[in-house]
Structure 1
Amino acid sequence: MTQSPLGAALSDAAAEIEKALDRLLPPATGPEAKLMEAMRYASMSGGKRLRPFLVLETAGLFDVKRGCALRVAAAVECVHCYSLVHDDLPAMDDDDLRRGKPTVHKAFDEATAVLAGDALLTYAFELLSGAETHDDPRVRLELVSLLAQASGPHGMVGGQMSDLAAEAAGDDFDLGAVTRMQKMKTGALIQAAAEAGAVLGKASHEARTALRGYAHDLGLAFQIADDLLDVEGRVEDTGKAVAKDAARGKATFVSILGVERARDQAERLVDQAIHHVAPFGLRADNLRALARYVIDRKS
């Protein structure tokens, strides 16, 4: 079967990211060999590569050199993979399966998983700060700041803390609280990935605002789709456990809105996301197709 243009673009980008990660995270010898093996296991085990794809696509809008964009894309993927390693730990979501494979703490051990996550996070900033990423140090500094804010207490980590609170609060966690949580936990890194390409390209304020709006709506639609997959998906498709949220009594978009209203909301968010990238014309075709893909996917 012939791939769609988006499918081909996603496959090509994933292969580029895999190759970049293989080069940037080479196997090691000595006491740190196990750590590097766990880092490679966590970051090179497939996945959609949606966040690095966003970096590459948005950088392409501004004719950024591919090598520079790939370093930033790899940094963003390192942060994403670190978050998955830590989210899967027994102290967090206690998951045994990720991307169809044993989670890092199951394949190795808990201590190694913690250290592998720590190392992926810190290595991301080493990549961004390197001169190979951009010849303008102000651009490198802005990239570091952008990713740090998306990853920290007002972004992904703060969102994970709210996620733990949502599980404890159950029905007391309303739609506004769930939306805020997911903007932080899922949306912040997606937004940083989309904006990173514009930072690399020294894009205008208007262009960055458009991409920020696109990513905001894309991130929420993506999370609603995840919540729907937890209810309707199959382990063999998703590559991870399903029906977890209801079993834990955790508030989600689906538990609050119901399946049909949640799906309708995701559709509206996708339409809004597509509208945001209208100024980029045909060059944003993959971004428009990606917005549709995130709510049609099976994993």
Structure 2
Amino acid sequence: MSDNQNLLAEQRRALILDEVRRRGGVRVNELTRRLNVSDMTVRRDLDALARQGVVEKVHGGAVPVAETSTHEPGFEAKSALELSAKEDIARAAARLVVPGSAIALSGGTTTYALAHHLLEVPELTVVTNSVRVADVFHSAQQPGPAGGRSPGAATVVLTGGMRTPSDSLVGPVADQAIRSLHFDMLFLGVHGISVEAGLSTPNLAEAETNRRLVQAARRVVVVADHTKWGTVGLSSFADLDEVDTLVTDAGLPAAAREEIAEHLPSLVVAGEPGTDDGAQRQAERHDGRDG
């Protein structure tokens, strides 16, 4: 990490967090050498990560926070993590969307990033249980010549429900709204994904709402950065065989890619070096599914 002298603070902190998780802890003096920044800068970064609840400061350094299966970080805390990975994933996932289609976006910071890339896709119908995602489309809508919606602007349906720490709307009201709908494609953010547990979340009500979203979708696309692989939340809401495509980032280890290729029809690795469009299909398997 010695060439990262001029990184923005958020990028530097993402690198520090990745190092903490990978090694199980870091020391301040090691980070100052690797990042080529001052001791004070590193300590400020560790303070910021500690306030987000993702590291625990110890004498001379920091260690990862031992999260329970019920721990649910807030939207702002998650927004600061894996920024470049989420942006790569969002760009790659947006290429899968056909103009004029009906899509659903679940809550989460990766689907929030994706929403920004969908603003240029015309005539979409977007159903979401994310307050943040709905706000992206609402803020972008400009009055047309006659004072109405801009031509080609998305039609956005925001489900009702109870608000979670990650600004998703869940519970019976959301479930009822989703039950009667049908989507061409669902883009689903997850807390964790693994072979054993499938897709999981620490929030029981969100698990049920996500089940409804999966059931209503013709094609399910999971958008999740590499840190989600192997993470297990309290409640599973879908098996891997219910997922059509996983869009992730280049940080996913080779062993994980091989394991995923055995269980999913399609794996898209975004931001892979040496690819022209920033996304590389690592696995394609035809098993009779639609789409």
Q: Give the TM-score taking structure 1 as reference length.
A: 0.28
Which structure features the higher share of strand residues? Answer: 2
Select the structure with the greater relative contact order (CA < 8 A; seq sep ≥ 6): 1
Greater percentage in helix: 1
Q: TM-score, normalised by structure 2?
A: 0.28
Which of these two proteins has the greater Rg computed from alpha carbons? 2
